[in-house]
Amino acid sequence: SLLFPRAKKVMPGGVNSPVRAFNAVGGDPLFIKQAKGSRMIDVDGNEFIDYVGSWGPLIFGHAHPEIVTAITRQAELGTSYGASTELEIQLAEKVVAAVPSIEVVRMVNSGTEAVMSALRLARGITGRDKILKFEGCYHGHADSLLVKAGSGLVSLGIPECPGIVSSLAEKTLTLPFNNIDRVRELFEKEGKEIAALIVEPIGGNMGVVPPKPGFLEALSEVTKKAGALLIFDEVMTGFRVSLGGAQKLFGVTPDITCMGKIIGGGLPVGAYGGSRQVMDYISPMGSVYQAGTLSGNPLAMAAGNVMFDLLSKDGVYESLEEKSAKLCQGLKQNVEDLGIDAQFTRVGSMFSMFFTSKEIVDFETVKTCDTDFFKRYFNGLLEEGVYIAPSQFEAGFMSAVHTDEEINLTIEASRKALTAARG
Ligand code: HOZ
């Protein structure tokens, strides 16, 4: 697009978030003019079936009429008051009713902010400094968490982010995802110094990596024993894999849950919550300070409330499951027919196709993927009018408004793109 040179003059790499750049796949990033339902149209008039969904929030597609109406109505009443509203209570009540571990919730403005605040809370409660995260998991860009992180850092090949105070990074311990023996070993030695273990209950930022059976349960047991807090980063999985998130799906209860994406109905929102006892440490109840001018702002709360009402209707998750299963079966059939090495992972409406022969269980296995093949495949798909994340190491998202016909078109497009990529 002609916009890219102009964008590069005034924004780093021409983008406002690195994952939007096409560095890993070549070419110019998309500049979008408009979007509706499952379709996006770029400024050059190209139309795409979209499986990025703004990186997860758009579970009902772009510009859902009820959400648009709620935002428009609220805008006329004011966009931000810096004071409390009933909309905030309504959304908090819905989150509390839906998410098993949450009695009290604080709204913030992004997933990063939620996670950053949750870590401070865990450190404040325990009086300990260390945290444990898993390699390839990404929890936003707070300093403590940009250590062996997934998402854009893998796509761009950044193993260590400069600018992080080393004495802080040293407090972040990392281990391979899905390896409970290593977690037990570490907790034997250092458990009493660990404030929190943070995990994406379904890895989503190195592509989709589901937890092995028993992994999350074991994390809960180990942290409890050590007096450390278990934080589930459900920014991606919350309200996506079930209304109660991954914790409801797997029946494992964390101490703190971080949320983002879907909760804001497409507007910038994050949230973190837990039991009353835990959340009472937060100001103004307690002395762990965390604040925000636009937190709980009425536009985002209005959108989030409608999103919840839509999600609460019968059959939403069943239909998402059906569509996602159909798409993944079709994609799998293609690779089998063409004799291409690929692994498929999926939990509900989040899915990945990894170009490797290795079973996907952690970051090491994810890194065995043929990224050159992915690059050719991605560009082939784009040619055919299908947009997936421009990186092998990101999840795909199905929405409730993708139609059967679009899924068939995607499977057909994928077959063509695979054939071309194979050469
Ligand atoms: N979690 C998202 C990608 N893995 C974040 C999107 C972004 O960084 O812009």
How confident is the model over 129-134, as a mean pLDDT?
98
Q: Is 233 a catalytic residue?
A: yes
Q: Give residue 397's pLDDT band: very low, low, confident or very high (50, 70, 90).
A: very high
In the reported structure, the alpha carbon of residue 396 is separated from the centroid of ligand 1 by a whole-number distance in angstroms of 12
| Atom nearest to 236 CA in ligand 1 | 1
Question: Per the structure block, which two tokens stand in for 94?
Answer: 């819905």
Angle ∠(119,125,130) on CA atoms, nearest 5: 50
How confident is the model over 104-117, as a mean pLDDT?
98
Active-site residue (options: 94, 148, 261, 375): 261
CA 335 to chain centre: 26
Indicate if the pLDDT at residue 340 is higher than 90.
Answer: yes
CA 285 to chain centre: 30
Q: Give residue 328's pLDDT band: very low, low, confident or very high (50, 70, 90).
A: very high
Q: Model confidence over 348-374: pLDDT tens digits?
A: 999 999 999 999 999 999 999 999 999
> What DSSP string runs through 227-272?
TPEEEEE-TTTBTTTBTTHHHHHHT---SEEEE-GGGGTTSS-EEE
* Pair type for strands 350-354 and 343-347: antiparallel
Indicate if the pLDDT at residue 84 is higher than 90.
Answer: yes
Indicate if the pLDDT at residue 159 is higher than 90.
Answer: no
Q: Model confidence over 10-28: pLDDT tens digits?
A: 999 999 999 999 999 999 9
In the reported structure, the alpha carbon of residue 151 is separated from the centroid of ligand 1 by a whole-number distance in angstroms of 7
Instruction: State phi, psi for 323 to the nearest 5 degrees.
Output: -65, -45
Q: Measured between alpha carbons, how far is 148 from 131 in angstroms, rounded to an integer? A: 13
C-alpha gyration radius of the chain? 21
Check if 55 has its Cβ closer than 6 Å to any atom of ligand 1.
yes
Check if 151 has its Cβ closer than 6 Å to any atom of ligand 1.
yes
How confident is the model over 106-124, as a mean pLDDT?
98
Distances (CA, A) of 269 to 80, 168, 299, 302, 385: 14, 27, 10, 11, 30
Check if 401 has its Cβ closer than 6 Å to any atom of ligand 1.
no
Check if 205 has its Cβ closer than 6 Å to any atom of ligand 1.
yes
Express as a percent the part of the chain with pLDDT over 90: 98
Check if 239 has its Cβ closer than 6 Å to any atom of ligand 1.
no
How confident is the model over 53-69, as a mean pLDDT?
98
Check if 223 has its Cβ closer than 6 Å to any atom of ligand 1.
no
Indicate if the pLDDT at residue 160 is higher than 90.
Answer: no
pTM listed for this prediction: 0.97
- Testing ligand 1's pocket by substitution, the residue of 11, 55, 208 carrying the most ligand atoms inside 8 A of its CB is 55
The pLDDT of residue 100 is 94
Q: What is the mean pLDDT of the chain?
A: 97
Q: Give residue 89's pLDDT band: very low, low, confident or very high (50, 70, 90).
A: very high
Q: Measured between alpha carbons, how far is 365 from 323 in angstroms, rounded to an integer? A: 27
The pLDDT of residue 1 is 81
CA dihedral sign of residues 154, 366, 147, 244? positive
The residue whose CA is least distant from atom 5 of ligand 1 is: 55
Q: Give residue 421's pLDDT band: very low, low, confident or very high (50, 70, 90).
A: very high
Beta carbons of 113 and 292 less than 8 angstroms apart: yes
How confident is the model over 24-52, as a mean pLDDT?
97
Cis peptide leading into residue 298 (ω within 30°) = no
Closest CA to 363 of 182, 193, 194, 113: 182
| Atom nearest to 20 CA in ligand 1 | 9
Angle ∠(173,179,182) on CA atoms, nearest 5: 55
Q: Give residue 403's pLDDT band: very low, low, confident or very high (50, 70, 90).
A: very high
Closest CA to 302 of 36, 77, 34, 120: 77
The pLDDT of residue 423 is 86
How confident is the model over 65-83, as a mean pLDDT?
98
Q: Give residue 339's pLDDT band: very low, low, confident or very high (50, 70, 90).
A: very high
Angle ∠(175,179,183) on CA atoms, nearest 5: 60
Q: Which residue bears the tokens 């400069």?
A: 162
The residue whose CA is least distant from atom 2 of ligand 1 is: 55
The pLDDT of residue 402 is 98
- Testing ligand 1's pocket by substitution, the residue of 17, 154, 206, 350 carrying the most ligand atoms inside 8 A of its CB is 17
Element (H, E) at 133: strand 130-134
